[in-house]
Amino acid sequence: MKYAETKLGRVFVIRLEDGEIVHEVVEKFAKDQGIRAAGLIILGGANDGSKLVVGPEEKDARPVNPMEHELDNVTEVAGVGTLFSDEEGNPMLHMHMACGRNESTVTGCIRKGVRVWQIMEIIFYELVGTTGKRYLDPKLGFKLLIP
């Protein structure tokens, strides 16, 4: 385990609009606001065609080869995530979302592109006083948080 203490900065209430791609809009917002670290909760609707990473194809393969799932209908969503800058200073959102319709739910990482259906609402908690960043782990093939 690795950890670091941080403090709560600004808190934002955000409404995403129909058709927006969640990670793109959130990362642009963070960049525009000068935010380097945050925690987020989100709820609303995801549109069909949205894509989730739903696990690795093989648990021990390196680098990790992600499995992708495309939503075939509108779903209700609830998610949580963190945002930290990468080595180049670009905000990078890591968010997992549960997307459900009727009695079926799929859960995964939104990095491949989740598109808003009508609205999504976010409570965005800025974290200040942290040196945490995401660094590329060449063995795994993705950027890991180093607190």
Question: 48: which 2 tokens?
Answer: 């069909």
pLDDT (0 to 100) of residue 109:
98
The whole-angstrom separation of Cα 57 and Cα 145 is 22
Of 39, 30, 37, 7, nearest in space to 134 by CA? 37
pLDDT (0 to 100) of residue 58:
95
Q: How confident is the model at residue 135 (pLDDT cuts 50, 70, 90)?
A: very high
Of 125, 129, 128, 97, nearest in space to 14 by CA? 125
Mean pLDDT of 1-20: 98
Question: pTM (2 decimals)?
Answer: 0.95
Helix extents (H) in 10-133:
22-33
Q: Torsion over CA of 25, 30, 33 and 35, rounded to 10 degrees? A: 170
Residue spans of the domains in the chain: they are: 7-146
23-78 per-position pLDDT tens digit: 999 999 999 999 999 999 999 999 999 999 999 999 999 999 999 999 999 999 99
- Residue 142: its H or E element: strand 142-146
Query: Per CATH, the architecture of 7-146 is what?
Result: 2-Layer Sandwich (3.30)
pLDDT (0 to 100) of residue 103:
96
Percent of the chain past pLDDT 90, that is, above it, reads: 100
User: Cβ(38)–Cβ(130) under 8 Å?
Assistant: no
Question: 109: which 2 tokens?
Answer: 């990482």
Q: How confident is the model at residue 138 (pLDDT cuts 50, 70, 90)?
A: very high
63-121 per-position pLDDT tens digit: 999 999 999 999 999 999 999 999 999 999 999 999 999 999 999 999 999 999 999 99
